[in-house]
């Protein structure tokens, strides 16, 4: 139980960190033109908000599919790094957070084995 709780808390922290990074990126650090700011916020943050409730509650199924969703942000980070410029270091941070969340989400899913009926006692 302790291992699952620790992994879940870390996964939530990383996930919220990614949301915070994207907010800072799009509003303050390297914002798009004013006319594109709202669509960019909607397209980049909207999908992250969909599984947020299930992630906060530690739902196994949500952790599993959000791990696949986060790979889109990995690709976004790769594109930002490849583009160079000011957004390259932001893309590198996005890659690191996306990979960390992916690994932690998979770890949480593995620790919450429904066949055992408990979380993290494997």
Non-local (6+) Cβ contacts of 117 within 8 A are none
Q: What's the pLDDT tens digit per position in 66-75?
A: 999 999 999 9
Residue written as token pair 């957070």: 97
Q: What's the pLDDT tens digit per position in 19-75?
A: 999 999 999 999 999 999 999 999 999 999 999 999 999 999 999 999 999 999 999
Asked whether 8 and 58 are in contact (CB, 8 A), the reply is yes
pLDDT confidence tier of residue 86, bands split at 50, 70 and 90: confident
Give the integer Cα–Cα distance in Å for 27 and 99: 23
Burial class (CB in 10 A: 0-12, 13-18, 19+), 24: middle
pTM over 0.85: yes
């Amino acid at each position: 139980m302790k291992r699952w709780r620790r992994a879940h808390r870390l996964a939530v922290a990383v996930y919220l960190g990614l949301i915070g990074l994207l907010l800072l990126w799009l509003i303050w650090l390297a914002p798009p033109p004013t006319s594109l700011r709202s669509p960019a916020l909607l397209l980049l943050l909207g999908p992250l908000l969909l599984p947020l409730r299930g992630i906060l509650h530690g739902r196994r199924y949500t952790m599993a599919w959000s791990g696949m969703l986060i790979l889109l942000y990995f690709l976004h980070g790769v594109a930002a790094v490849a583009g160079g410029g000011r957004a390259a270091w932001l893309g590198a941070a996005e890659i690191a957070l996306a990979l960390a969340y992916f690994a932690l989400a998979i770890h949480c899913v593995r620790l919450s084995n429904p066949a055992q009926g408990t979380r993290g006692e494997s």
